[in-house]
Chains A and B, each alone.
Chain A
């Protein structure tokens, strides 16, 4: 082909120059650093969103709890990261001697962002709305054993009662949940809010604040960012930051954001990502209240005569090298002794039942009559345990069990498909996690024979009477005897049950050096208003 007499280099240069001028113009315009200049101090917090709504009565996600904690006050609260002691916020509380009646008394004067005062009617209305909507958090105000709604009643202009038919000593630990945030009933009723299942205030609440918390919503998007401004009528200490941006960013980008001061706090980094993050940043390490556990199905149909063998369960417990698993999960992770996380009342330390002993594991396998059958281990492929990949944990479990002679086949599936089979109790074995609904050991008795989580592992009500008895004793316990009762229940479950607690992963917050008072909390992750 002959050459066309044209100047292609000049032509290309023109095209490139045009593109670069366009890019150059735009690149020059923005600022690479946002944060805290100007009259209003802005705090940018990176979070990987699971946000669905900011309506407290419908929200029960981690991001939702951060949002609602900032906007709404609750009757009771916790201080900082201490979830062992409920404290008054909108109300003081008193429990009856039988733990069936909790009396709330209005605690001083509080005001909603509308300027309306918080009344006892607002608290009653908000709780009844939670019950009526029957959303994710409605179980917080139901009796755990009967499933019936707790009775909520106004008893005077400043007092109300919450009554359960069974002792409910966990209630003071449940009420600080941001899902039980108190709403401005006068404003809400004008925007479709009711205490019936036909409530239509959610859309309003996803764009406006109706709370008495330190912040009010400036803008809201469940997929990109939530921006908060001050609540002018908040009666507590004024937050340090006049504007907070909570934005949806994935883990790797969070790291770059916080390194480049695009964000001042990153909440979604794992152990690997915080390594070498830089000395100009602070890494706050705490233990996550999430418990990763392994289960072995006790239903003969799904256990296939292998996992539903008590000696086989013992072999697995003894065959796992827990310290090795913690090493995979990264520094800061710890081994819980039972299903109750280490930071809650009634937690236990690991004992002989869940300590690595290869020879004991092999002996138990012989006792079980194990003949080399393959055990299928299911796990979610698209979820992490505070940043720790389930596939990594599953591979580690597989290699450890194969070292003592158990054949394991890994079966990773997306969590949305895994959950169906898991909840139906049809999986032979697997790895999953449980995050706390409220910081009380009674949240964990569901890991008992015949209970919801127990049944997922084929652990029928009749199977381990000693565990059932210990669980009933724990649930009936009150006062100082509760811790010992829940400890006894977990020891019984470790002796006889199909659940093997593996780890509580570390949780990392990375912050700019200028940021202080970031306190990880098991209930609401982090209190934005407390950050300085």
Chain B
């Protein structure tokens, strides 16, 4: 099919009842949703099997020395956790509960896993949003500069900086940044999401900055925002390092395209060429990496959360895994699966919006 034929086909589809986008896009979304659901079931099976393959018993991990020596206590614990049933039955029960929105009770916190996740996930979301916004602004900007100044000094400097961002170990960077900016320079507040003297705002979204604004508490808003800076900086350095490299590469590709040369030949101003043609053309690969980075941030950043006592999903997952807290591990596995599937889904939809060829395909 030639390009003209494709355009004709597209026009014909658009003229049919049901609108321009509806049939291919709706069908595409429906298929993706079904695939996503199957993927989620797969995630539960894999997580369930893997956690049960660990050569250790949650009974041993959860009960103390005395209690684990008492058959009466061990039996009570197994019954309470459903561990006295065969593995397939345990999985079936888990799935049954899952369909009712029940992820079980955490062995570590003795709370419903849904309740734990509802408390931890917004903390991670707030940090991830902060980081991704900063990273996109800085990463895209630096990537653009590096591409436009290809092989010149700014390009070399930016490449070294991005390499550093990716290479420096997060745990070291987090402690170093905390020490420097909190203790030495007093430029930033200490660990946690709020000053210990502050009370969190009434929970609406779980994002302290948003909830503080909704509650009309500007002091708490700025406190929450200031606590985002250091962990945000650590994660932003890494994410920017990643984005710069992809943005630079994608922009360099587009800069060598004919239509960019044509735009320049027509005498369009440089800014217009960059923003209307170059950036738009480079957007798809950049979107992909932004999506992956955002998914990764939402899945929890264990080391940064540990250092800054953030109380997010990463810290929760770490403790659950080391304590063999199977319901919590399964819950985290599920939420990470949902995050990645949802992120990819959203990116795919944005693809369709940004690039008409995807809609038609």
- Contact B109–A223 (Cβ < 8 Å): yes
B316 / chain A contacts, CB cutoff of 8 Å: 223
Q: Which among B66, B119, B145, B233 is the interface contact of A437 at CB below 8 angstroms?
A: B66
User: Which of B110, B269, B322 counts the most chain A CB atoms within 10 A?
Assistant: B110
B179 / chain A contacts, CB cutoff of 8 Å: 256
Give the number of residues in A that approach B within 8 Å (Cβ atoms): 81
Return the CB mask of A134-154 against B: 1 if under 8 Å, else 0.
Answer: 111011001000010000000
B223 / chain A contacts, CB cutoff of 8 Å: 29-31
A84 / chain B contacts, CB cutoff of 8 Å: none
Interface residues of B in 67-89 (CB under 8 A from A): 67-70, 72-73, 76
Return the CB mask of B122-146 against A: 1 if under 8 Å, else 0.
Answer: 0000000000011001101110110
Q: Is B256 an interface residue (CB 8 A)?
A: yes
A25 / chain B contacts, CB cutoff of 8 Å: 222, 225
Q: Is B50 an interface residue (CB 8 A)?
A: no
Interface residues of B in 25-80 (CB under 8 A from A): 54-57, 60-61, 63-70, 72-73, 76
- Contact A222–B196 (Cβ < 8 Å): no
* Alpha-carbon distance A11/B137, docked complex (angstroms): 11
B63 / chain A contacts, CB cutoff of 8 Å: 136
* Alpha-carbon distance A133/B191, docked complex (angstroms): 37
Known: A247-B196, A260-B183. A12 touches B225 (CB 8 A): no
* Alpha-carbon distance A221/B134, docked complex (angstroms): 30
- Contact A15–B319 (Cβ < 8 Å): no
Q: Which residue of B lies closest to A264 (CB)?
A: B196
Known: A1-B150, A4-B255, A30-B223. A416 touches B61 (CB 8 A): yes
- Contact B56–A420 (Cβ < 8 Å): yes
Return the CB mask of A20-59 against B: 1 if under 8 Å, else 0.
Answer: 0011011111111011011000101000000111010010
Known: A31-B189, A147-B70, A260-B183. A250 touches B307 (CB 8 A): yes
Q: Which among A16, A29, A135, A202 is the interface contact of B221 at CB below 8 angstroms?
A: A29
Interface residues of B in 303-350 (CB under 8 A from A): 306-309, 311, 315-316, 319, 322-324
* Alpha-carbon distance A499/B107, docked complex (angstroms): 32
- Contact B149–A8 (Cβ < 8 Å): yes
A26 / chain B contacts, CB cutoff of 8 Å: 222, 225-226, 228-229
- Contact B222–A29 (Cβ < 8 Å): yes
* Alpha-carbon distance A243/B195, docked complex (angstroms): 13
- Contact B148–A4 (Cβ < 8 Å): yes
Known: A22-B134, A256-B178, A262-B182. A6 touches B148 (CB 8 A): yes
Segment of B93-101, B270-278, B289-297 in the binding face = B270-278
Q: Which among A3, A27, A224 is the interface contact of B309 at CB below 8 angstroms?
A: A224
Q: Is A14 an interface residue (CB 8 A)?
A: yes
B55 / chain A contacts, CB cutoff of 8 Å: 417, 420
B114 / chain A contacts, CB cutoff of 8 Å: none
Q: Which among A4, A8, A51, A257 is the interface contact of B191 at CB below 8 angstroms?
A: A257
Q: Is A238 an interface residue (CB 8 A)?
A: no
- Contact A30–B148 (Cβ < 8 Å): no
* Alpha-carbon distance A68/B270, docked complex (angstroms): 68
- Contact B110–A206 (Cβ < 8 Å): yes
A27 / chain B contacts, CB cutoff of 8 Å: 187-188, 226, 229
Q: Which residue of B lies closest to A434 (CB)?
A: B65
Q: Is B154 an interface residue (CB 8 A)?
A: yes
Q: Is B355 an interface residue (CB 8 A)?
A: no
- Contact A416–B191 (Cβ < 8 Å): no
- Contact B270–A5 (Cβ < 8 Å): yes
Q: Which residue of B lies closest to A244 (CB)?
A: B196
* Alpha-carbon distance A260/B196, docked complex (angstroms): 13
- Contact B56–A6 (Cβ < 8 Å): no
B270 / chain A contacts, CB cutoff of 8 Å: 4-7
* Alpha-carbon distance A203/B66, docked complex (angstroms): 24
A221 / chain B contacts, CB cutoff of 8 Å: 119, 311
User: Which of A18, A30, A31, A147 counts the most chain B CB atoms within 10 A?
Assistant: A30
Q: Is B214 an interface residue (CB 8 A)?
A: no
Q: How far is the CB of A46 from chain B (nearest CB, A)?
A: 8
* Alpha-carbon distance A6/B142, docked complex (angstroms): 14
Return the CB mask of A271-310 against B: 1 if under 8 Å, else 0.
Answer: 0000000000000000000000000000000000000000
Q: Is B113 an interface residue (CB 8 A)?
A: no
* Alpha-carbon distance A90/B311, docked complex (angstroms): 37
- Contact A8–B197 (Cβ < 8 Å): no
Q: Which among A8, A19, A37, A222 is the interface contact of B145 at CB below 8 angstroms?
A: A8
Q: How far is the CB of A511 from chain B (nearest CB, A)?
A: 15
- Contact A223–B273 (Cβ < 8 Å): no
A407 / chain B contacts, CB cutoff of 8 Å: none
- Contact B60–A416 (Cβ < 8 Å): yes
Q: Is A252 an interface residue (CB 8 A)?
A: yes
Q: Which residue of A lies closest to B74 (CB)?
A: A134
Q: Is A119 an interface residue (CB 8 A)?
A: no
* Alpha-carbon distance A268/B138, docked complex (angstroms): 38
Q: Which among B64, B191, B222, B233 is the interface contact of A253 at CB below 8 angstroms?
A: B191
* Alpha-carbon distance A1/B260, docked complex (angstroms): 12
* Alpha-carbon distance A263/B149, docked complex (angstroms): 48
Interface residues of A in 180-205 (CB under 8 A from B): 197, 202-203
Q: How far is the CB of B21 from chain A (nearest CB, A)?
A: 32
Q: Is B227 an interface residue (CB 8 A)?
A: yes
- Contact A52–B255 (Cβ < 8 Å): no
Q: Is B234 an interface residue (CB 8 A)?
A: no
- Contact B67–A138 (Cβ < 8 Å): yes
A9 / chain B contacts, CB cutoff of 8 Å: 145, 154
Q: Which residue of B lies closest to A29 (CB)?
A: B222
Q: Is B280 an interface residue (CB 8 A)?
A: no
* Alpha-carbon distance A5/B270, docked complex (angstroms): 5
Q: Is B235 an interface residue (CB 8 A)?
A: no
A8 / chain B contacts, CB cutoff of 8 Å: 144-145, 148-149, 154
- Contact A15–B138 (Cβ < 8 Å): yes
Q: Which residue of A lies closest to B158 (CB)?
A: A12
Q: Is A382 an interface residue (CB 8 A)?
A: yes
B256 / chain A contacts, CB cutoff of 8 Å: 1
- Contact B197–A35 (Cβ < 8 Å): yes
Known: A29-B225, A31-B195. A248 touches B255 (CB 8 A): no
* Alpha-carbon distance A250/B192, docked complex (angstroms): 12
- Contact A23–B233 (Cβ < 8 Å): yes
Q: How far is the CB of B106 from chain A (nearest CB, A)?
A: 8
**CB-defined A-B contacts under 8 Å, sample of 22:** A4-B278, A5-B269, A8-B148, A12-B144, A15-B137, A16-B138, A19-B137, A29-B223, A29-B226, A30-B227, A32-B182, A32-B190, A38-B197, A136-B64, A138-B70, A142-B70, A219-B200, A248-B309, A250-B309, A263-B190, A416-B60, A420-B55
Supplied contacts A8-B148, A11-B141, A253-B191, 10 more A-B pairs, CB within 8 Å = A4-B274, A26-B226, A27-B187, A27-B188, A30-B226, A31-B223, A134-B72, A142-B70, A248-B311, A252-B307
Residues on A facing B (Cβ under 8 Å): 1-9, 11-12, 14-16, 18-19, 22-23, 25-32, 34-35, 37-38, 42, 44, 51-53, 55, 58, 60, 134-136, 138-139, 142, 147, 197, 202-203, 206, 219, 221-225, 243, 245, 247-250, 252-253, 256-257, 259-260, 262-263, 382, 414-417, 419-420, 423, 434, 437, 452-453
Residues on B facing A (Cβ under 8 Å): 54-57, 60-61, 63-70, 72-73, 76, 107-111, 116, 119-120, 133-134, 137-138, 140-142, 144-145, 148-150, 154, 175, 178-179, 182-183, 186-192, 195-198, 200, 219, 221-223, 225-229, 232-233, 236, 252, 255-256, 260, 264, 269-271, 273-274, 278, 306-309, 311, 315-316, 319, 322-324
